[in-house]
Amino acid sequence: FSQSPVEFINALIASQSRDLKLVAGEASRNAEKEGRSDFYNQPWVEDAIIRYLNRKPAAGNEPPGTT
């Protein structure tokens, strides 16, 4: 934030705008598809889950006391 307050504010406004559209029901049809169970039964989902669970945590995101 202190390095680039204008970019931070612009990103915040864009994020709030997306949230408002989602809450107002103006989100893309993809959000509607995600609510259906067949969306999660596609072939790529299992691979994506495995990759997500096996990813290495970013530096600094590890809980205290772990080495």
Task: Give the pTM.
Answer: 0.36
Structural domain contains residue 38: yes
- Residue 29, domain extent: 5-54
Structural domain contains residue 15: yes
How far is residue 46's CA from residue 18's CA, in Å, rounded to a whole number? 28
Structural domain contains residue 59: no
pLDDT 10s digits, 27-65: 555 666 666 778 778 888 888 888 888 887 766 666 555
Structural domain contains residue 18: yes
DSSP-assigned letters across all residues of 22-54: HHHT-S-HHHHHHTSGGGGGSHHHHHHHHHHHH
Structural domain contains residue 16: yes
Quote the number of domains for the chain.
1
